[in-house]
Structure 1
């Protein structure tokens, strides 16, 4: 896949994922807003129903009392809560006359301090009743216009057409609110109305008159936190009662109704993000592996091309009649063929070893060995090459104890690979320092060179299979990126740890840590 096509696909998939996340967020936000609106609507509907039911019930009670009086032949006209007019109408059968008996009662209340009366109360209520009697005689013909407000004893059929609203308004306008309704009744009605809409949370309420609190309220009501208010006893007079309610747990209730949907949305979105990230990571990794394999094939081709060319030249030289009889030159060319063949064989063996390690098919048996002996053996393998380039290897084997459980062959190869790496990446005469020290129950091996070094980005990936630092088309350093990958796998198999510290143009230090055995 071309790089531009791959980049476009990644951008499109990323934008699609971001779009899905935004759509989910928008949907959840709308769901919360809808739940809030629904909650507000249900509460308002419930409070309005409570207010209407209480008002209608009071109206029915007042009208029922008036009807009872009317059935007894008493007509009622209520001017105020303190003044009551009682009318009795009586027709005279022998004459064309009607008698109207009127009894006006004025009720006044007084409160006196208990200091006057030693009765143990804070105050004493005294009720004064002033009665006013009046009897009038009317001609029956002159009462046609007033019959709607006068009611004969025993005549109740016409009361169904009477408008009791004025009487009810006058009756209720001066009554204290706490005498008209109580907290328990309001609480019961609110609870029933809310349960009809599946709203089962704690609430507080109060009745206010012109923004002033009345005695009708719950203990913990807070006016500042009032959620909603509706008209209460909407009786079109100077009173302006409102029923206020607050819900301390309103937000939790609204979120709890959609928390399941939110959790599922988060889970599925997380799965999509993880799957997308994993797929993207795998795609990028596959591209990197593809590039690395391409570099590996190029490097392998270059590595094999030189020895093959050398072998061909040596064979052609041996065929030359002038050289075939020269045993010294023939031996020299045969030695070159053998060395180049060994070199190609070693490269193939590295590839096979890595493959077997990944499949856990490489049998590594371990014995008690002295790490210092392995170090000295490894140095002997590369010492001639170092000296040939005018360099040297310094050793400082200071570890008092160096006995480890290791495979002698493979761990010697590990040390040889690191030393060979130090030689290859030393542009000048290689100067290598090998040091061992004891740290706790471990032994550390430090192999330091003063070569070209590497950047931090390269140091992080130097133990990856097939990885080599890009140097363009310049193949001044031989290898195919398998040596250090093999080193890491063997060290890990020995329950050890390997790391590298490096700085560009200042060299590298490889550190191997292995557990000691007694």
Structure 2
């Protein structure tokens, strides 16, 4: 039930995390598309404004040129009355007559073709003005026939002025006709167009590289930026220089080579935060999952450790009890030789239990950094030989042998002789324990640069790749606790690792299942 709940919990957490990541990806894509649409809208506004301002600027320059010409010629224009309007109102009660007249006058200006630097016919430009008169007659005997007579009104109000609406309309029509016949290069320049586009883009907050060009009947013209290149995905267009018929042969194209980079830059801050938070969740989730799995493994390993410790204490305790019972036997208590043998058995089993307790205490002290490790200059070959002496009895019992190949020339290292002897002993004991047949162990030493390499090779069971990665962990054993063909509780190699690390060395294992293992220790030499 616990395993099923654990798996279900992991599955739900994983699905939730995947869901969060997918939502973040969906949000990013949606935001990018929205930014793209907004960018497109703003660019359309920009090029629309540019086209409008180009036309207005060109018309303004044309009007200014015409007005300047009219002012500078000093010629009196020809005037024509093109419309005259009268309005007469009589009030019989007050004997008052009001006459309102409005005359629209046109002034014609003949402009020579040399003014345009082109072979146009003589153009006529008109200017319109109005003259408005209001007359009040107190004598109501005046009728419509008297309006044109030379009568003196009692009140006369006269107003005059230009008709800008008519002037502008005529100027616009004339300007479009004249300018449409001019070459494009005389109507707009690259610097002016670039400055205008840049200004409009800045007003809309579009601060990215742009290129532009004007096409005539879908063909490129000389009015373009140096690096302009048409790109279907990043180019926007609009007609420019529209004539009086509402058509044009010119089209303004603006392209943005770094469009995607610009759109992404607008999302970068929120995207980075999103990624950071997602990574934090991912790391926290991975860490939590790893801790859960590790706690389960530690729980299983500790159960193995307890089972092994129980078994390993149980055997010597049982042996001690049997020896004590035998000594208490009246037939044996008088036999001095047997009593001494049983006492030796009790001593050996007690020593065995003491060694187990010491091993556990050593690891505990290492964890708390309470183990006193004083280092002195020692010959590593002497340390190895001392360790071999410690395991000789076990080796002889298994009829095994240890062969040494001491190839190292420099052998002086700074180590704690007691602890490092225990390191070699632990490795040799493992080599003996995990050799199903007669133990055959080889020890090699060699110098590489300023290091001495110690290799302990056996022909035992070997170990899996997973075991090689975890063999130096506390409590770890490849065999589970209910298998007692190999004694131990997974503390020896953890102790080895901690002692070697404390000596600024390295220890690792090379192994293949069924072909034995080689433990390798690297230690710095004393120069």
Normalising by the smaller structure, the TM-score range is: 0.7 to 0.9
Whether contact under 8 Å (1:169, 1:237) holds in the other structure is no
1:200-215 matches, cutoff 5 A: 200-213=207-220
Residue 200 (structure 2) aligns with: 193
Whether contact under 8 Å (1:62, 1:168) holds in the other structure is no
Deviation, structure 1 residue 296: 0.6
* 1:28 and 2:28 matched: yes
Residue 136 (structure 1) aligns with: none
Residue 99 (structure 2) aligns with: none
Partner Cα separation in structure 2 for residue 327 and residue 90 of structure 1:
158
Secondary structure of the 1:257 match is helix
Partner Cα separation in structure 1 for residue 83 and residue 306 of structure 2:
128
Whether contact under 8 Å (2:50, 2:197) holds in the other structure is yes
Partner Cα separation in structure 2 for residue 89 and residue 155 of structure 1:
18
Which stretch of structure 1 is more off in the superposition, 496-505 or 53-62? 53-62
Deviation, structure 1 residue 127: 7.4
Partner Cα separation in structure 2 for residue 425 and residue 103 of structure 1:
120
Change in 2 beyond 3 A, CA 1:475/1:105: same
RMSD of aligned alpha carbons: 3.8
Change in 2 beyond 3 A, CA 1:221/1:107: farther
Secondary structure of the 1:404 match is strand
For residue 339 of structure 1, the aligned residue among 348, 367, 371 is 348
Residue 141 (structure 2) aligns with: none
For residue 181 of structure 2, the aligned residue among 152, 166, 175 is 175
Deviations 1:341-370 (A, max 9, x none): 111110010000011112111101222333
Deviation, structure 1 residue 256: 2.4
Count of residue pairs brought into register by the alignment: 460
Which stretch of structure 1 is more off in the superposition, 203-212 or 255-264? 203-212
Partner Cα separation in structure 2 for residue 403 and residue 89 of structure 1:
123
| TM-score normalized by the length of structure 1 | 0.76
Residue 3 (structure 2) aligns with: 3
Structure 2 unaligned regions, length at least 5: 71-75, 85-104, 125-157
Deviations 1:295-341 (A, max 9, x none): 11111111111111112222222222332232222222222111111
Residue 329 (structure 1) aligns with: 338
For residue 239 of structure 2, the aligned residue among 209, 214, 231 is 231
1:68-147 matches, cutoff 5 A: none
Partner Cα separation in structure 2 for residue 515 and residue 216 of structure 1:
75
Residue 318 (structure 1) aligns with: 327
Change in 2 beyond 3 A, CA 1:488/1:45: same
Secondary structure of the 1:248 match is coil
Deviation, structure 1 residue 156: 7.4
Secondary structure of the 2:519 match is strand
1:496-507 matches, cutoff 5 A: 496-507=505-516
Which stretch of structure 1 is more off in the superposition, 388-397 or 154-163? 154-163
Deviation, structure 1 residue 469: 0.9
Whether contact under 8 Å (1:227, 1:245) holds in the other structure is yes
Whether contact under 8 Å (1:74, 1:88) holds in the other structure is no
Residue 12 (structure 1) aligns with: 12
Whether contact under 8 Å (1:398, 1:435) holds in the other structure is yes
Whether contact under 8 Å (1:88, 1:102) holds in the other structure is no
Partner Cα separation in structure 1 for residue 305 and residue 77 of structure 2:
118
Deviation, structure 1 residue 263: 2.3
Secondary structure of the 1:443 match is strand
Which stretch of structure 1 is more off in the superposition, 169-178 or 357-366? 169-178
Residue 309 (structure 2) aligns with: 300
Secondary structure of the 1:341 match is helix
Deviation, structure 1 residue 393: 2.8
Residue 40 (structure 1) aligns with: 40
Partner Cα separation in structure 2 for residue 401 and residue 214 of structure 1:
83
